[in-house]
Amino acid sequence: MSNIKVLPNAYNPNYPPHQLVRILSRLPTKSLINLAQLWTALPQTQPSVDKAVGSDVSTAQLCQEISMELDAYKAAPKPPKKRTVVDKIIAEYWSAGLNLLQLASLDCQLLVDLGNAYYWSYSTVYNYKSYLKESQDRTSTQIIAFNPQRFLELLIANLSSFYYNHVYVCRHPEFPITIIRVQVFDLQARATRNATHNRKRAPNFASHKPFFIVIPINTPYVIHSPFGTASDLVCSIIVQSLETALSDSMKLSVKLVSADLRILPPVKSLESIFFTLGNSRFSSCLGMWIPYADDAVDINPLADLSFHQAKVASESVTRDEQRLQMANLRFKGTRSGVLQSEQLFDDKTKRKKRRTEDSTDVPTETETIMGKSQYASIAPVQNVEFKLTDPPSSEINAKLNIRLRLCGSDVFAGLHELSAMADGPVDPFRIPAWLTSEGGGRNGTVTGGVFRAYSARDVGGGLI
């Protein structure tokens, strides 16, 4: 498909070196090496040979030399410093700069390596005709099913009506999701002819911030970069183009309704929002209900009944151990707090296990905080707000109205740890269920101790 407003993969936006250093430095060293090797194998990302300086090395020879040097980095007993690899890429391998395909692959690799690198929100897909007939509770959600190639062509065509654009698509190596990176550009004027001869011409295009779209399998949800301000025109146009492309590719008129950020604040974890909205049985079983999704409520009917929990004599435990077990029960549903499921979502497609060759790597600080802690949540939440309301009672002649806002890298993991601490400030025996992640990451009200998540009616809706 040809379109004059589609920028080619080989287009070089001529980012300054300091900006490229910042982009490359976000990734782990091993990912940088692997990507650089991949670039030497793809015709559109191979380094260019400067014939003007009299180089007699062919592109194939240069790529082979780079690949061999990168292999040496991999085989070295001590991995190279990240800055060394970054400098090699910018100053030696691709000194002319990185093109759009390379920049897009860097962003998507960062998304895979560090799931908390971006914030995420979502929109719900509805059957448009049924949607118009429903006044309050929207129930006519529409499962997304389309021809991927046709959908991509339609999305690009719709975007081209408004902006110059570049679209990059990839599959997540672990989750059954398709990732679409959309970047749009404004056409810029070149430098005037009266400028001095040594002045560089201004770039052709000014780029907007990349917008990510994530489409899970067999769900009525589209996960995407968050937006919501009235001035965010670019994001609104991208989502409208997405809505039109979905309608045309599905041959069914659909309506995208964005999640109100007051109901579910942006989540800084793709894994978390995927478990909440994707094809995961854990999405509606959080807190003490996790064992129901983990298939750990009862033993197999054919198993030895002598091992049933009711017949196994309980061991004597100390007060601190009892506190830890109760905290695990409240937040994870089991005394040990350990899940028995290796996979927390349904995926019938065959995938290679990720990080097989990197299994001996030392975990990064982010991995230690977000994924390796014994208190880490299945679906980490960074922001959550509860509004506590109670009518006046006989003792207090005033209405209770308290707003509780919690923030952190993993809010409920922090509460879990505080409740498990000996003489900690949170009592695991008395903590209310809505503070143990049972409501997920949704904001809501607590009346008489009962949690109710906000709905569109509570905050005035949020349509696209």
Q: What is the CATH number of the domain that holds 325?
A: 3.10.20.720
In this structure, what are the phi and psi dihedrals at residue 258, rounded to the nearest 5 degrees? -75, 145
Q: What is the mean pLDDT of the chain?
A: 80
| Cα–Cα distance, 54 to 46 (Å, whole number) | 19
Do 84 and 147 share a domain, yes or no?
A: no
Q: Are 156 and 169 in contact (CB under 8 A)?
A: no
Q: Could you tell me if 137 and 177 lie in one domain? A: yes
246 and 340 together in one domain: no
Indicate whether 309 and 418 sit together in one domain: yes
What is the mean predicted confidence (pLDDT) over 412-436?
Answer: 90
pLDDT band for 1, please (50, 70, 90 cuts). low
Q: Which residue has the higher pLDDT, 264 or 397?
A: 264
Mean pLDDT score, 441-460: 75
Mean pLDDT calculated for residue range 283-298: 68
Whether the per-residue pLDDT at 340 is higher than 70: the answer is no
Residue 49 has a CB neighbour count (10 Å cut-off) of 16
Q: What is the number of structural domains in the chain?
A: 3
Domain annotation covers residue 413: yes
pLDDT at residue 294, rounded to an integer? 64
Same domain, 151 and 234: yes
Look at 32 and 442; give whichever has higher pLDDT. 32
**Close Cβ partners of 325 (under 8 Å, ≥ 6 residues apart):** 317, 335
* Domain co-membership, 292 together with 415: yes
Residue 361 has pLDDT above 70, yes or no: no
Q: Phi and psi of 18, rounded to 5°?
A: -65, -30
How many other C-beta atoms can be found within 10 angstroms of the C-beta atom of residue 138? 15
Q: Are 234 and 294 contained in the same domain?
A: no
| Residue 370 reports pLDDT greater than 50 | no
The residue segments making up the domain with residue 79 are 17-113
Cross-strand partners of 451: 446
Final residue in a domain of this structure, among 258, 283, 305: 258
| Digit-coded pLDDT (tens) for 196-223 | 444 455 457 888 999 999 998 888 999 9
Residue 42 maps to a domain: yes
Distance CA 221, CA 356 (A): 31
For the record, the structure tokens of 219 come out as 């769900």
| Percent of the chain topping pLDDT 70 | 74
DSSP assignment string, 324-358: HHHHHHHHHSSSS-----S-SS---S--PPTTSTT
What span, in angstroms and rounded, lies between the C-alpha atoms of 123 and 144? 12
Top mean pLDDT of 37-51, 70-84, 304-318, 357-371 is at 70-84
Residues 306 and 454 in one domain: yes
Contact of 207 with 231, CB cutoff 8 Å: no
What span, in angstroms and rounded, lies between the C-alpha atoms of 156 and 6? 8
Given 113, 138, 173, the domain boundary residue is 113
Same domain, 29 and 105: yes
Higher-pLDDT residue of 237 and 136 is 237
In this structure, are residues 203 and 11 in contact, taking their beta carbons and an 8 Å threshold?
Answer: no
pLDDT at 313 exceeding the cut of 90: no
Residues 327-351, mean pLDDT to the nearest whole number = 71
> Do 24 and 72 fall within a single domain?
yes
Structural element, H or E, at residue 123: strand 121-127
Residue 23 lies in a domain: yes
Residues 103 and 228 in one domain: no
Contact assessment for residue 167 and residue 149, using Cβ atoms and an 8 Å cutoff: no
Q: Is the pLDDT of residue 358 over 50?
A: no
Query: CA-to-CA distance for 328 and 334, rounded, in angstroms?
Result: 6
pLDDT at 247: 92
**Rg (alpha carbons) of the chain, rounded to whole number:** 26
Q: Which helix (H) or strand (E) holds 25?
A: helix 17-25
Which ranges in 42-188 belong to alpha helices (H)?
A: 59-75, 82-87, 100-113, 128-133, 148-160
Classify burial at 371, counting beta carbons within 10 Å of its beta carbon; exposed 0-12, middle 13-18, buried 19 or more.
middle
Do 279 and 390 share a domain, yes or no? yes
Least confident piece of the model among 66-75, 99-108, 159-168, 338-347 = 338-347
Q: Please report the pLDDT score of residue 108 as a whole number.
A: 95
Residue 43: predicted pLDDT = 92
Q: How many CA atoms lie within 13 A of 39 on its CB side?
A: 28
User: 119: closest CA among 223, 269, 222?
Assistant: 269
| 141 part of a folded domain | yes
CA 235 from chain centre, in angstroms, equals 17
Is there a contact between 201 and 190 (Cβ–Cβ < 8 Å)? yes
Q: Would you state the pLDDT for residue 264?
A: 73
Q: C-alpha angle 270/274/280, rounded to 5°?
A: 150
* pLDDT computed for residue 352 by the predictor: 42
pLDDT score recorded for residue 355: 39
pTM value is: 0.77
**Residue 357 domain-assigned?**
no
Instruction: Give me 414's structure tokens.
Output: 């922090």
